Structure 1
Amino acid sequence: MPEIHPQPTLKAVTLTHVRYQKGDQLGHFLAWVSLIPVFISLGGFVSHFIFRRELQVMFFAFGLLISQFVNEVIKTSVQQARPETCALLEICDSHGWPSSHSQYMFFFALYLTLLTYKRIGILGRNQMSVVLLLVWPSAILTMYSRVYLGYHTVAQVLAGAALGTFLGGLWFWVVNSGLRSFFPVIEESAFGRFFYVKDTSHIPNVLKFEYENARAARKHVSYKRAD
């Protein structure tokens, strides 16, 4: 008689594995909304580091990583179960309190709001309008999507939102009241010079500064070619 080996238990990577009921158009939309933190991390912060390398934004991203680490520590300690729908979603082996998606989005929304408000008149009021009309509704929709899709209870997403808001405000204060004084040191360090890391917080109007310097550089190249 052949020896029967037990089948291994398989576990999916749930970073982008979001399920919704077939035919549910709202669920389909909210499944994409639920992936906004992934888009921000990969499309936003990674591309920013590649092309911009601003210290303020780098510390912003680092704060989000700290926030997610805190979330995992709390989840592991509290070990609160997800709602009963976790069986259909095959995620009952993970914990639900607090919601990491809600925590991420509300941290992101508050930090970006405070950063924009701090630089209002520098980057312009239009950016604040984008934050208020796009970022905060996205945070609320993400929180709602986690309940609608069955990944969390209302209490779990509210806890995540509250914790994310608190950590976002706290980290903004830590960065801009203490760590920012080290920005010039980092900028002039071997690491900063090698990776072209910069801090433009001392420049009154970054967009105007970059625009005028780009034009001046182009004119300088044109003059050299003419000579």
Structure 2
Amino acid sequence: MAATEDESYMQSPKLNSEDRVDWVPLTLTLVEYPQGDWMGKMLAVASLLPLGIISGFVALILFRRDLHTISFFFGTTVNELLNLILKHTFCEARPMQRSGVYTEYGLPSSHSQFMWFFATYVLYFVFIRLHHMNNNTLLENVWKTAIITCTVSMAMIVTISRVYLQYHTWKQVLSGALVGFLFGSLWFALTYLIFTPMFPLIASWKVSEFLLLRDTTLIPNVLWFEYTNCRQEARARSRKLVSMKSQ
């Protein structure tokens, strides 16, 4: 019976071209690497870093509601829109190894542009916005160096991965890095000089109060501020609870 079913399946008519469905890969998450190539596998995982950064942005916005973080995330969105415009302006194909699989254009590389926008903005933020770190103690210098090294290293690894995995040429990734650096510099300047002075006004709006949006620009160390305030509030409530039980 099984053999008969197999034969009938093999002899079944093929689907017409009109009935056939073409499947298109979602290139946002699909990353291929040579089988057995451990370096290619590591670089394939590294090329997913932009998704991790976006997830971090969403988590920070949902739980912190800080206007500067929202502005930074909005900048990454505009950066991606700029990349899309540039790709459809230059219309340069991907390398031959990928031209038959991925239909979107390759110049400039969106991964490279995203990572260098992010790295550039973080560099400016560390050197300019972190004004509370001006004591230049050993711990503070190590902390700054670690952030800068980590961010630039991630951008370089993602850039190299796109060439190693044959998704882009060096011209395409370097073009993306240049655009990301330039737009990251422009967006930080806009945020620092124009948007930041407007944050107190925006935070006072009714809609901002409803959404719990806040401006932490003038707080030197937000983590320490939140830690000390939470600790003081917890101690005050603990004393109040003990007082109520003793009555």
**TM class by smaller structure:** over 0.9
Kept in 2, the 8 Å contact 1:67–1:167? The answer is yes
- After TM superposition, the structure 1 stretch with the greater mean CA deviation from structure 2, 110-119 or 25-34, is 110-119
Alignment of 1:165-204 (within 5 A): 165-204=181-220
Mind listing any 5+ residue stretches in structure 2 that lack a counterpart?
1-12, 134-139
User: Which residue of 2 is the match for residue 109 of structure 1?
Assistant: 119
Distance 2:79 2:212 in 1: 27
Instruction: Show CA shifts across 1:7-61 (max 9, x none).
Output: 233211111100001101000000011000011001x101101211111111001
Q: C-alpha displacement at 1:205, in angstroms? A: 2.4
AA in 2 matched with 1:112: V
Mind listing any 5+ residue stretches in structure 1 that lack a counterpart?
none
User: Which residue of 2 is the match for residue 47 of structure 1?
Assistant: 59
Alignment of 1:1-227 (within 5 A): 4-6=16-18, 7-42=20-55, 44-87=56-99, 90-91=101-102, 93-122=103-132, 124-227=140-243
Distance 1:125 1:37 in 2: 27
Kept in 2, the 8 Å contact 1:122–1:206? The answer is no
- Aligned CA distance change for structure 1 residues 2 and 34 (closer, same or farther; 3 Å): closer
Q: C-alpha displacement at 1:222, in angstroms? A: 1.1
Q: Normalising to structure 2: TM-score of the pair?
A: 0.86
Residue 85 of structure 1 aligns to a residue in which SS?
helix
Larger Rg: 2
State the number of aligned residues.
224
Distance 1:51 1:77 in 2: 38
Q: C-alpha displacement at 1:193, in angstroms? A: 0.9
Instruction: Show CA shifts across 1:95-149 (max 9, x none).
Output: 0000000000000001011112123352644442222221101100000000000
Q: C-alpha displacement at 1:2, in angstroms? A: 9.4
Distance 2:188 2:164 in 1: 31
AA in 1 matched with 2:48: L
- Aligned CA distance change for structure 1 residues 52 and 125 (closer, same or farther; 3 Å): farther
Distance 1:127 1:172 in 2: 21
Q: Normalising to structure 1: TM-score of the pair?
A: 0.93
- After TM superposition, the structure 1 stretch with the greater mean CA deviation from structure 2, 76-85 or 208-217, is 208-217
Q: C-alpha displacement at 1:3, in angstroms? A: 8.5
Distance 1:131 1:205 in 2: 16
